[in-house]
Amino acid sequence: MSNLVEIRNLQTYFYSDAGVNHAVDGVSFEIPQGKTVCIVGESGSGKSITALSIMGLIDPPGRIVGGEILFEGTDLLRLSDAQLRKVRGRDISMIFQEPMTSLNPSYTVGYQIDEALRLHQKHLNKKERFEKVVEALDLVGIPDPREKYREYPFKLSGGQRQRVMIAIAMACEPKMLIADEPTTALDVTIQAQVLDLMKELQEKKGTSLLFITHDLAVVSQIADEVVVMYRGHIVEKASAEELFNDPRHPYTRALLHSIPRPGVTPRKSQLDTVDDTVDYLAFPKEIR
Ligand code: ADP
Ligand code: MG
């Protein structure tokens, strides 16, 4: 099994008058071809900044100060902005957390998927693009895709808008899809549907998936490999099976301990029991 992406010692820092925030501080992991890697960790641990670093979307006062992001062997950190723009969209797409802020309210749903194809699949003509957009809407489970092509985002439900975002991200048939807490804003039933859908698309197209979440229940549902982040560091990485059956790092154990139990733990409190008076970086990192 080969790796699509290899991240080596990534360091992304934020600079301010108050000092330097080591948001991502020497992170290394791999994303195998066709597999799902989950990054899990509490809010502020550096999950999104890791994803945005891969996408080349770190803006000042943030800066990638070290490391390598090898995509099929090419270091993305050495590409020009123009080269990187090509990779983004064609090879790597990202789904952001808030569907409404990512869709433009003034354009139809179909137009916005078509726009991604116009940019990244230049060999297609207008008719071929229309068929591809309809196919994409159908694939993500939007009913009446030919009619929905002409709808504006506000006419769709939250779940449908999130599906449209997935359709946009998938339409270009990227080699890797990054999803940053894509289901957090959705209700539980829709969440499960969106997760199933992403797995299905992955199986159909062989897409690698980098999935970010603070929800361990979601991790257990979709991950092949898991990366546990804590304060900008990886404290443990393991296969999903190893991680859930035999967690090695005290922080991972604390996280697992706080898994909500249906009917017992209210869903919101899932990470509340991690003891924030403990400095988990003081323990050796159990990287397997
Ligand atoms: P999360 O794991 O919740 O996704 P982030 O990756 O967003 O965490 O954040 C990691 C760290 O980087 C946090 O300390 C956060 O405050 C900091 N950070 C993120 N974005 C910015 C920004 N635009 N400016 C300054 N600091 C930032
Ligand atoms: Mg985040």
Whether the per-residue pLDDT at 266 is higher than 90: the answer is: no
Section 224-253 average pLDDT: 95
User: Residue with the nearest Cα to atom 10 of ligand 1?
Assistant: 46
Whether the per-residue pLDDT at 48 is higher than 90: the answer is: yes
d(CA 251, CA 229): 9
Query: Which among 54, 53, 48, 157 is positioned nearest to 96, based on CA atoms?
Result: 48
Residue that wins the pLDDT comparison between 144 and 195:
144
pLDDT value of position 259 = 63
CA of 23 to the centre of ligand 1 (A): 6
3-state secondary structure of 119: helix
CA angle 193–199–202, rounded 5-degree value: 140
CA of 126 to the centre of ligand 2 (A): 37
Whether the per-residue pLDDT at 261 is higher than 90: the answer is: no
Most confident of 6-10, 103-107, 165-169, 202-206: 6-10
3-state secondary structure of 50: helix
For ligand 1, whether the C-beta of 139 sits within 6 Å is: no
Pocket probe for ligand 1: among 11, 21, 39, 215, the residue whose CB has the most ligand atoms within 8 Å is 21
18 pLDDT band (50/70/90 cuts)?
Answer: very high
For ligand 1, whether the C-beta of 41 sits within 6 Å is: yes
Section 158-183 average pLDDT: 87
Q: Which atom from ligand 1 is nearest to the alpha carbon of 43?
A: 3
pLDDT value of position 269 = 47
Domain ranges of the chain: 3-91+177-287, 98-173
Q: What is the pTM of this model?
A: 0.88
Whether the per-residue pLDDT at 129 is higher than 90: the answer is: yes
Whether the per-residue pLDDT at 104 is higher than 80: the answer is: yes
Whether the per-residue pLDDT at 99 is higher than 70: the answer is: no
Q: Which atom from ligand 1 is nearest to the alpha carbon of 180?
A: 4
* % the chain with pLDDT above 70: 92
pLDDT value of position 270 = 47
Fold of 3-91+177-287: Rossmann fold (3.40.50)
